[in-house]
């Protein structure tokens, strides 16, 4: 068995601790070599080898090497413990044990493999024996298991420790952004009385382009051309949908149509957008500290952004009182704004924004708020995740104005479901409703040249 150590021959085991792997050359059996487990119980085997490893590992010596080298050294150390302890694991199972123990030492334990998988977009730990993940829009149960509630909690605390946050009984719910941009939510009792939970939404570095979304079935080419023109020529667009419907992904793709000569300010909580333009200032809200002070809200950021000479303001997700400032900005010369909102229909999106404005504490009658909404917004894009995991635009809806005290809407495009197979596969088509948007002439006067035939059913491109 080769020496386990750094390239200079220095062992990563603590001085004074026996180093496994010497076989008969050792006068006495190493203190930390464990007897083989009864049966191939992967979880208990990982736990026992992990305990043996951390009791003899010199963590300080691992700090001086890069992550790949540290991983290699730990895996070699684990392999030595397996051989010295005569564990009955071979082939693929041995590789899994080595990887799992290394994940416990250097990563996030049982879920590290899921986080490393590029096909996985979200990881959800509902309890020690209930770990789910989302891949290609479908939520599936994983075979990953934690030992117990304390193991889940310890991994959650490790996640937060890296970013200087903590979770405890006084703060049993924590939202945070990891260093790689991923979003994480951690809860412990009493917020979730049965067990701690961990939810990680991974940050995608390979941002979808509009062409990718067309290929994925999110929309068709004529809709992409139309929405791209609306973005380029500064219409105010609201992207609506439920959780996981692809709102942020679509906002990223749509923002590519913003001219690169414009100054863009993004406001998010947390940062998720990755715009392709260079002249971008990203602003991020901050929760209150442990004393309940020093919070930075999206409303604070939006107010400040208006003083920064923006050509465009993009609010990653409008959630509260900042909706009032957003409407004010749209109505006072800051055209071309983009934002998302959690809502199940375009009409619901209007109601949500209306309620958020009321949260701002501004003494305005509902009729006045609706007038501002009708004047500010041009388009609502409604997204939905279907049973087959595909995120699709189900409606592109124009805000046409007011009729009495109600905001009036008209659908420009809609997705028509044709069949749903037994396994949940959805087929359908995107179709124009035959209604031409009232702002089409305004776009043409601004220099936008597009074929108005796209609004007619059966017209070809």
| pLDDT tens-digit readout, 44-80 | 778 788 777 777 676 666 666 777 888 888 888 888 8
- Does the CA dihedral 406-409-415-419 come out positive or negative? positive
User: What's the whole-model pTM score?
Assistant: 0.77
Peptide bond into 270 cis (omega under 30): yes
What integer pLDDT is reported at residue 129 of this predicted model? 92
Superfamily holding 210-455: P-loop containing nucleotide triphosphate hydrolases (3.40.50.300)
C-alpha closest to that of 336 among 282, 448, 257, 395: 257
What integer pLDDT is reported at residue 364 of this predicted model? 86
C-alpha closest to that of 316 among 410, 177, 414, 211: 177
Label the pairing between strands 379-385 and 338-342.
unpaired
Could you tell me where in the chain the CATH 3.30.450.90 domains are found? 112-201
For residue 104, count other CB atoms closer than 10 A to its CB.
25
What integer pLDDT is reported at residue 58 of this predicted model? 66
What integer pLDDT is reported at residue 12 of this predicted model? 57
Could you tell me where in the chain the CATH 3.40.50.300 domains are found? 210-455
d(CA 14, CA 87): 23
What integer pLDDT is reported at residue 458 of this predicted model? 66
**Cβ distance 83 to 20 under 8 Å?**
yes
What integer pLDDT is reported at residue 68 of this predicted model? 81
What integer pLDDT is reported at residue 7 of this predicted model? 41
C-alpha closest to that of 253 among 340, 346, 329, 137: 340
Segments of the chain scoring below 50 in pLDDT: 1-9, 15-40, 460-461
CATH class (in words) of the domain with range 112-201: alpha beta
What integer pLDDT is reported at residue 16 of this predicted model? 38
What integer pLDDT is reported at residue 449 of this predicted model? 80
371-400 tens-digit pLDDT: 999 999 999 999 999 989 899 999 999 999
Question: Which element (helix H / strand E) includes 177?
Answer: strand 173-177
C-alpha closest to that of 175 among 186, 190, 162: 186
């Amino acid at each position: 068995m080769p020496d386990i150590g750094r390239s200079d021959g220095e062992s990563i085991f603590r001085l004074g601790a026996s180093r496994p792997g010497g076989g008969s050359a050792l006068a006495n059996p190493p203190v930390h070599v464990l007897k083989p487990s009864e049966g191939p119980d992967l979880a208990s085997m990982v736990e026992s080898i992990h305990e043996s490893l951390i009791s003899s590992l010199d963590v300080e010596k691992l700090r001086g090497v890069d992550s790949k080298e540290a991983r290699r050294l730990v895996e070699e150390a684990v392999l030595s413990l397996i051989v010295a302890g005569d564990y009955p694991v071979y082939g693929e199972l041995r590789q899994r044990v080595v990887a799992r123990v290394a994940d416990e030492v250097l990563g996030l334990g049982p879920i590290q493999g899921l986080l490393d998988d590029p096909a996985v977009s979200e990881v959800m730990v509902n309890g020690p024996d209930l770990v789910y993940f989302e891949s290609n829009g479908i939520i599936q149960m994983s075979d990953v298991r934690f030992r117990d509630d304390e193991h889940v909690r310890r991994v959650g605390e490790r996640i937060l420790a890296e970013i200087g946050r903590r979770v405890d009984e006084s703060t049993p719910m924590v939202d945070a952004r990891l260093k790689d941009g991923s979003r994480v939510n951690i809860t412990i009792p009493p917020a979730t009385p049965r067990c701690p939970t961990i939810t990680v939404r991974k940050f995608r570095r390979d941002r979808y382009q509009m062409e990718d979304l067309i290929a994925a079935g999110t929309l068709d080419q004529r809709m992409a051309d139309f929405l791209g023109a609306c973005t380029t020529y500064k219409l105010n667009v609201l992207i609506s949908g439920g959780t996981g419907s692809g709102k942020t992904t679509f906002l990223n793709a749509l923002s590519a149509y913003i001219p690169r000569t414009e100054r863009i300010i993004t406001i998010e909580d947390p940062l998720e957008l990755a715009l392709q333009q260079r002249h971008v200032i990203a602003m991020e809200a901050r929760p209150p500290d442990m004393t309940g002070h020093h919070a930075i809200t999206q409303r604070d950021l939006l107010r400040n952004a208006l003083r920064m000479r923006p050509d465009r303001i993009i609010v990653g997700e409008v959630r509260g009182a900042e909706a009032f400032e957003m409407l004010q900005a749209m109505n006072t010369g800051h055209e071309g704004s983009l934002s998302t909102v959690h809502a199940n229909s375009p009409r619901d999106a209007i109601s949500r924004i209306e309620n958020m404005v009321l949260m701002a504490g501004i003494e305005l009658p509902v009729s006045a708020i609706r007038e501002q909404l009708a004047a500010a917004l041009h388009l609502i894009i409604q997204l939905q995740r279907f049973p087959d995991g595909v995120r699709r635009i189900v409606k592109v809806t124009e805000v046409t104005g007011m009729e009495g005290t109600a905001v009036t809407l008209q659908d420009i495009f809609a997705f028509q479901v044709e069949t749903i197979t037994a396994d949940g596969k959805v087929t359908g088509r995107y179709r124009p409703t035959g209604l031409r948007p009232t702002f089409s002439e305004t776009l043409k006067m601004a220099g936008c040249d597009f074929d108005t035939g796209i609004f007619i059913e059966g017209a070809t491109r």
